Amino acid sequence: MADGHSLNNERLEYLGDAVLGAIVAEYLFKKFPYKREGELTEMRSKLVKREQLGLLARRMHLTDLIEILPSAHAKCAGGDAFEALIGALFIDKGYEKTKKIVLHRIFTDFMDIEKVLNEESNFKSKILNWAQHRHRKVEFRHNIAEQNHRHRLYHVQLLIDEKVFAEGLEYSVKKAEQIAAERAAAKIPELCKNESDNV
């Protein structure tokens, strides 16, 4: 505590999240002038998703420089630290300088942008399309597995024809659904092989 204020990075994380989102949105808007809004949104999500930011933090050895409190979730620590770093850069250097550092130093040195953008990540849509064409019933059931004042850990079950087919565990419902859907897709031959044969 200092002057009655907790010494943590939550406020910097909040600011960094907003600044990083703006930087990536502007970058994609200019780089892909013919992409539609939905496509740009999906591309941005791939670049700023929690797993990707955590990977960047590890590659930059940022996680070696932070202290993780016992109550904190280590899984989120890298992404949180990265967002806090961007927030701090913005306060110290301003938007344009922060944008240059993110795009020309961090992304260039520590991320293969083309590879990340080309990754297939919307497994939920693949499962739903597969089920619709085969008249199968798909359902996602959500539960809160764990929570504290900062995070909720969600447990999602993916059911096909009333039977549990796969499960996912993450800190957002959407990500937990994607994990469950990815695991389900791995069990379905034509989705796994990207073929059109029947199961």
Same domain as 38, residue 95: yes
Considering the domain boundaries, does residue 74 fall inside one? yes
Considering the domain boundaries, does residue 4 fall inside one? no
Same domain as 153, residue 105: no
Same domain as 127, residue 87: no
Same domain as 166, residue 97: no
Is 157 within 8 Å of 141 (Cβ atoms)? yes
For residue 46, the model assigns a pLDDT of 85
Pull the structure tokens for residue 191: 């989705």
Is 93 within 8 Å of 101 (Cβ atoms)? yes
Same domain as 57, residue 78: yes
- pLDDT single digits (tens) 125-150: 889 888 998 999 999 999 988 887 77
The Cβ of residue 132 has, within 10 Å, a number of other Cβ atoms equal to: 10
For residue 92, which amino acid is it?
D
Same domain as 100, residue 14: yes
Q: How many domains would you assign to the chain? A: 2
Pull the structure tokens for residue 170: 């993450």
- Domain range for 187 is 123-193
For residue 44, which amino acid is it?
R
- pLDDT single digits (tens) 38-97: 788 878 988 998 888 988 999 999 878 776 655 445 556 788 889 999 999 999 999 999
Is 29 within 8 Å of 98 (Cβ atoms)? no
Catalytic residue among 17, 80, 170, 177: 17
- On the question of pLDDT at 198 being above 70, the answer is no
The Cβ of residue 97 has, within 10 Å, a number of other Cβ atoms equal to: 12
CATH number of 170's domain = 3.30.160.20
The domain boundary, picked from 85, 117, 149, lies at 117
83 assigned to active site? yes
Same domain as 99, residue 76: yes
Is 156 within 8 Å of 179 (Cβ atoms)? yes
The pLDDT confidence band at residue 8, using thresholds 50, 70 and 90, is low
What does the mean pLDDT of the chain come to? 84
Under DSSP, the state recorded for 103 is: I
Same domain as 70, residue 135: no
92 assigned to active site? no
Catalytic residue among 13, 80, 83, 177: 83
Q: How many whole angstroms separate alpha carbon 3 and alpha carbon 103? A: 36
Q: Which of 100, 106, 170, 123 has the alpha carbon at shortest distance from 142?
A: 170
Phi first, then psi, for residue 75 (nearest 5°) are -65, -30
Same domain as 186, residue 109: no
